[in-house]
Chain A
Amino acid sequence: MKKNWKTLMLMGTMVLGMGLFTAGCGSSSTTADGGNGADKTYVVGTDASYAPFESMNGEKIEGFDMDVLSAAADAGGFKVQFQNTPWDGIFLTLKNNDRDIVASAVTITDERKKELDFSDPYFEATQMIVSKKGAELKTLAELKDKKIAVQNGTTGDEVVTKMLGKGSPNIKRFENMPLALLELKNGGVDAAVGDNGVVLEYVKNNGAGEFVTSVDSSFEKEHYGFVVKKGNTELQKKINDGLKKIKENGKLDEINKKYGFSK
């Protein structure tokens, strides 16, 4: 009798578990439908800890990426709604249909193209090394046996990982760029590597005299693109149409100027 109870309990647990699992799978289409379906509203994931590209102003997400994508959406005839999304796992939200677009200063790389689809580029960036005044580190070679802070899974992470290997104890990976830069400020690392726009903004706001920035000659030009789920060519085309229009009508230049990015 006792044994029967055990079997019954086990089966009950399994049934319950499977029920929960399928329930979880069923509710994965979250794309908000805007009104009559004429202008579809797409949910856009962004890691709003990356000023000036995306940051929180009170409850509102704002920044360069928001301005560009909103303008492109206006021109392309669709609507967007921004959602703050942690960088760790941000691309998984596309795979899981939790977000339709990721607009988070994402560099277009061949590696990423294997798993994701990108829009046309809308911004040119480069990696930048930032170190403390008095202990300047200016080239990638100088970072060889130093402690370096990066944001996990970014192109900055990629360049130092390529040099030191992914298991290197000298690479300190953080969830977002502000934490990585805080670690540098607190002296826990000797340098940080990240996108130039963000690094410069941070240095500007956190003691301009305290830090030294530099670009290694080996750092390649990078381009930001908006990201959609692999195979979502319909949305990719809509974004590209919008981007093309705002590039032609000068709206993109206007936004660049607003943020002080010269061409």
Chain B
Amino acid sequence: MLSQPIGEGAAADYTKFMITELGHFALILALMVAVFQMIVPMIGAQKNWAGWMATGTPAATVQFGLTLTSFAALTYAFVISDFSLRVVTLNSHTAKPMLYKVSGVWGNHEGSMLLWILILTLFGAMAGWFGQGLPPRLKARVLSVQSAIAVAFFIFLIFTSNPFERLAFPPLNGQDLNPLLQDPGLAFHPPFLYVGYVGLSMAFSFAVAALIEGKVDAAWGRWVRPWTLTAWVFLTVGIALGSWWAYYELGWGGFWFWDPVENASFMPWLIAAALLHSAIVVEKREALKSWTILLAILAFGFSLIGAFIVRSGVLTSVHAFATDPERGVYLLLITGIFMGGALVLYALRAEQMEAKGVFSVVSRESALVANNILLAVACFVVFIGTIWPLVAEMFFDRKLSVGPPFFDAAFTPFMVALSVILPVGALMSWKRAKLKRITVSLMPVLVVSVALGGLAFAIQTGGSALGPIGVILGSWLVLGAAFEIWQRAGKANKIARLKGLPRADWGKAVAHAGMGITTFGIAAMLAWQIEDIRIAQIGDRFEVGQHQVELIDVREVDGPNYISTMAEMKLYRGGREVAHLFPEKRVYPVANMPTTEAAISNGILRDLYVVIGDPQNDGGWAVRTYIKPFANWIWAGAIIMALGGTLSLTDRRMRVAGGQRSKAVTS
């Protein structure tokens, strides 16, 4: 190298070289800091040496800084298209738009793993920064456990999937990121999911630290909740983004497929939802302690299992990521060590978590227990359905598939049961509730919901029960949440008191209403969607439901890096034009890959969704038209759920996560 003449270009190359190596070096240093942070604060906590315990926060900060440096170096390599790095060559191209150069950093196994670790160390550092109110021993242990997780993943990254691996002979250009992945919705989908997965590591660290400590109290519940809630909010948004992307990109409007990879994100979501609720019981009533600890362990356990499912390729899934058995084995090992260790600790220590609160069988506590059972069992059903093909093959020598029809039948009842009890449980008071009074007061909500369901049944064609049931459940949840807020406002001065309600109460009502909206959206779209598949000639006008569709023209259009067959269609209703749409079929010649770009006219009450298919021998075109009622409500509901969670997060109680007594208004 040194023998080369050093001109401008060569000098620039050296800088590139240095920055990449700096990133690699920072990564290795971060591992060393993580090892230090795993050991020293823990010993300090055991021996009660304040100085050793105090190393936790600075170590976590340095660890995060180093990981950030490493991540920035990798991003830089993608931005300047440094094809001497293997991951850059395989996943980027000089002509790719900047957004996708950056999102390409996590559009592959190695880079996404580095992002995973970056978020992990960020959470660790945040626990250090914001945990001033935590007792020093608990804090030291939390940081130590968090760092132990980081150590496992640093080793995994550096030794099995190093993003800084060089190519001996760098090519002139890269192989580009799959065109389907060059999409804004998908660019931000993985970071959201990762914040969710990794955020649950905080709940895990708190649980293990509490087990080592042998003590769980109301304050512990208060500290765990914000982390879990943050993780859950991000998971909700991440899952919704992925589902929405599938809806508009895949050409027929499916939004959930019960694929192993989807289930991998859904299982932690369900357990995190259960954990959120049980941690409230710990905080307010000092009961359900050992169960909450178990949920905290399992929630992160499902995150790890998810990483294993996605990256090992054991379960057939279209996305099975870089299916490398060696990586799979290592991930299974990580999952085994952390779950096994935590569960053994749990078995030894859970007995000590003596509950204090006493409550009657009819109470808010019991309602939350019911919520937890339903969510946990629902998650278990998803889990067993996901792994069953593997189990059946290994133990029963049967090759079989478990797909949407199974999950629809086996999972849905639990969600329906949850929706039915939710508004009742939400109104119960702590310790002892009067079921009769609540039922009577909810009677108007029930009557209105059933009436709306009956109306839907009367309007719809065909006798399907799905739509009306969705209407009943949806309005039961939404009106139930509204009723709760109304009731909390008391008799006099409603407006003033509504303003004074804690944000956590608003958050709860908003999130529950969001669930109602999603429930309704799913049922309505599945029950009332209209599909039309036909061959249309240019100029044809045909009826789909109450709409008329006109195929005006089909032409070839050149895009920047693709060739498109673009149709022009107009949709009318009652003679009035309601949408002018241009569905496309694209071919990306470099990747030799066709994609379908459906054209969608979004509406509050319905989406009009048109797809252009193959040319036919008689000169016509295959055309698919869908009318999807209330489709957007599915994702709107999810976003509203996330908003509710965020509202709760901004509650005073959460912000002052240290020591102070809760000031929440209790009903």
Are A and B subunits of one complex?
no
Q: Which residues in A have some Cβ–Cβ distance to B below 8 Å?
A: none
